Structure 1
Amino acid sequence: MTMPEQATSVVPVTPIAVTGTTQREKIKCITDKLEEGVRAIFASDEYREYLDFLSKFHDYSYNNVILIKMQLPTASLVAGYGDWLKKHHRYVRKGEKAIRILAPTPYKKKKEMDVIDEHGNTSKEEVEVLVPCFKIVNVFDVSQTEGEPLPSLGVDELDGTVEQFDAFMDALKAVSPAPIGYEDIPGNSHGYYDHVERRIAIQEGMPQLQTLKTGIHEVAHAVLHAWPEDGKKPKDGPDRHTREVQAESVAYTVCQHYGLETSDYSFAYIAGWSSGRDVKELKESLCVIRQTAHDLIAAIDAALGVTQ
């Protein structure tokens, strides 16, 4: 199966205006825009749109997911000019504007530091440290290119349905850090993760889509919020509301990636959850959600034998 030729995007790229003369000033300009983007996601109805976007770009950092979305909301597959040409035999059309993202470019630097020996004596020693650094790079969406057709993505094999329900559930059970079982759960709960017994329970008899979504939600809890092995609830860590936001966001993102529609779930409570929290805390949750969704998608793909 091949991917059809992409038409020119109806929404043109709106590159982020980068001001400044030094690399540091240019990077600061980009990161300032990122802060605005983070707040905008939580302060409006953009959160679901962000998760939809994340489901397509789960292997990018959350910073770059936001940057791509800000510049081209219709983007679906991006690569650098050279990669489009060499790897995919496609050409970026003349006049297309680049999408600007950040690429890590760490470098090594020698630094004098205090070193304590086995006797407790302190001395100065020159050590080599890795200094984090970034640069601005240009990428283009597939809708800005033309050339050889692309092979279909492996996730299309699920056809956006639950026809492979058994295979998907087997894959989810294989990647889950806790055993998954079915039972009749009192009340209105669809499922739960038992921190003490370290197991996941799903309400039996539910529709397949609800079962899958619930399973992914509880696996996210097991990955992110498991108690220590002594079975005692940790004193620190995210509050209950934050834990639910993280697990629900991961479940929605993973389902969207596989074409499993769960849009009947409302994210209206996100605005209330994010109110009063600083940008650093909001970024941390976005990072946790992105990394967990990425890891689960990669693991499920491997269990299903899906190749990208």
Structure 2
Amino acid sequence: MSSYTPSHSDRDAKVAELHEQLGAAVEDLVTGEQWTRALEFSARFRTRSFNNLLLIHAQHAAAFEAGRVPEPTPTYVAGFKQWQALGRSVTAGQHGYGILAPRTARFASAEPTRSDSWRRLAQGERPRAGEIVRQKLIGVRPAYVWDVSQTEGRPIPERPEPRMLHGEAPAGLWDGLAALVQGAGYELTTVDASDLGGANGRTDFTARTVVVRGDVDAAAQVKTLAHELAHVRLHGPTDNEDAPQHRGIGEVEAESVALMIGAAHGMETSGYTIPYVSGWAATVAGRTPLEVVQSTGERVRRTAVDILSQLPTEQLGAGDPPGLDRTFASQAVAAAASTAPPNRPIDRVASRGIA
């Protein structure tokens, strides 16, 4: 049996290629409609970072256009060893989607409060007596994942997906969001439109109140409540350094979080209004639009994922195949010593993938 071990130059070249592809994917997000589609995708694959979501989306779209996969959107995405653990194998000839995985190393220090006291441990090296050991991020490396349509083997059970009728709100969503608002120390009330001056909701950080328009259908109310909860989580006086410079970014973040929460519950997203990315992303001094889009996308994803994890509601899956053990997945990522060869299709006999 043969194996493939990429050299440092191979890895560096692939990382550079992925960064270039990522930049192109971010630049494609120039309208509110395209940003909305990216957020809908994020809601379905929310265990991945925003950057990796964009990479998977772009590569799957290219595979679909080339006729290598049957659907324009992935269903479940996992690493080579993860699919093996589920009784499936990557179909010969299928290319993995390159993503950026963290590279970590062990560091030791006898004085952990001093930033200059940490030293990197060599492979197999033990810390000295009295030293504390921590894993630290030292960079990124290429890793590979495949959609279920690129694999074969044991059937994957279908998860039921919530579907909302027009104007209907998912069961328990209002109560779950309200509990999070109140748990953050804010008083929540509903009022008529006339009391909000035409707005649908308002968050007052000084008075610590959240007001939501109550004379609209249930779906509109939970959408507004999710939007205001995002403000509570993200836009206090010291929460986001970009938001005070451009109020529009704060509104984009809040509406984007609300969209992800709604999409994860099967709600219609056409009513969410997000302005052109090229407009709000170019307004932060000292940062490129690409940097603003990437940081905004990741803040939105993290906030939505955190809120969703605390809601006692029926939600869409997060992109992992049913039955996947995330503990095993983490161990597989840490233990994997090599990746599939860059841009080379899987050889079922000879290759080792990464989870």
Asked whether the two chains share a fold, i.e. TM above 0.5, the reply is: yes
Q: Distance in 2 between matches of 1:235 and 1:66?
A: 22
What is the aligned-residue RMSD (CA, Å)? 3.3
| Preserved CA contact (<8 Å) 2:212 2:224 | yes
Q: Distance in 1 between matches of 2:253 and 2:95?
A: 34
2:313 equivalent in structure 1? 304
| Preserved CA contact (<8 Å) 1:159 1:259 | yes
The yes-or-no answer on 1:211 pairing with 2:209 is no
Q: Distance in 2 between matches of 1:125 and 1:287?
A: 31
| Preserved CA contact (<8 Å) 2:264 2:316 | no
2:76 equivalent in structure 1? 77
Q: Distance in 1 between matches of 2:50 and 2:187?
A: 30
Return the match for 2:99 from 73, 98, 101.
101
Q: After alignment, is 238-247 or 30-39 more displaced? A: 30-39
| Preserved CA contact (<8 Å) 2:29 2:277 | no
Structure 2: state its 5+ residue gaps. Answer: 1-5, 62-72, 121-133, 318-355
Instruction: Tell me: CA distance 1:146–1:24, structure 2 relative to 1, closer, same or farther (3 Å).
Output: closer
| Preserved CA contact (<8 Å) 1:245 1:270 | no
2:266 equivalent in structure 1? 259
C-alpha deviation, 1:46, in angstroms: 2.2
| Preserved CA contact (<8 Å) 2:253 2:296 | yes
Question: Aligned AA for 2:94?
Answer: E
2:141 equivalent in structure 1? 135
C-alpha deviation, 1:292, in angstroms: 0.8
| Preserved CA contact (<8 Å) 2:163 2:267 | no
2:292 equivalent in structure 1? 281
Q: Name the SS of the counterpart of 2:176 in structure 1.
A: helix
Q: Name the SS of the counterpart of 2:280 in structure 1.
A: helix
Q: Distance in 1 between matches of 2:262 and 2:143?
A: 30
Instruction: Tell me: CA distance 1:196–1:21, structure 2 relative to 1, closer, same or farther (3 Å).
Output: same
Relative to its length, the structure with more strand (as a share) is 1
1:119 equivalent in structure 2? none
C-alpha deviation, 1:65, in angstroms: 0.5
Q: Distance in 2 between matches of 1:138 and 1:213?
A: 35
C-alpha deviation, 1:237, in angstroms: 4.1
2:50 equivalent in structure 1? 62
The count of aligned residue pairs is 274
Equivalences for residues 64-213 of structure 1 within 5 A: 64-73=52-61, 74-87=73-86, 89-109=87-107, 127-128=119-120, 130-153=136-159, 156=161, 158-161=162-165, 165=170, 167-176=172-181, 177=184, 178-184=186-192, 185-213=195-223
| Preserved CA contact (<8 Å) 1:109 1:131 | no
Q: Distance in 2 between matches of 1:259 and 1:287?
A: 21
Question: Aligned AA for 1:171?
Answer: G
1:8 equivalent in structure 2? none
| Preserved CA contact (<8 Å) 2:90 2:152 | yes
C-alpha deviation, 1:253, in angstroms: 1.5
1:226 equivalent in structure 2? 236
Q: Name the SS of the counterpart of 1:102 in structure 2.
A: strand
Q: Sequence identity, in percent? A: 26
Question: Aligned AA for 1:180?
Answer: L
1:11 equivalent in structure 2? none
C-alpha deviation, 1:250, in angstroms: 0.9
C-alpha deviation, 1:227, in angstroms: 3.5
1:4 equivalent in structure 2? none
Q: Distance in 2 between matches of 1:206 and 1:258?
A: 19
Please give the per-residue CA displacement for 1:17-38, whole angstroms capped at 9, x wherever unaligned.
x9x9342332122112212222
TM-score between both structures, scaled by the size of structure 1:
0.77
| Preserved CA contact (<8 Å) 1:183 1:202 | yes
Please give the per-residue CA displacement for 1:153-196, whole angstroms capped at 9, x wherever unaligned.
47x2x333476645111111222323432112332111111111
| Preserved CA contact (<8 Å) 2:107 2:118 | no
1:269 equivalent in structure 2? 276
Q: Distance in 2 between matches of 1:223 and 1:22?
A: 41
Q: Name the SS of the counterpart of 2:299 in structure 1.
A: helix
2:25 equivalent in structure 1? 37
C-alpha deviation, 1:40, in angstroms: 1.9
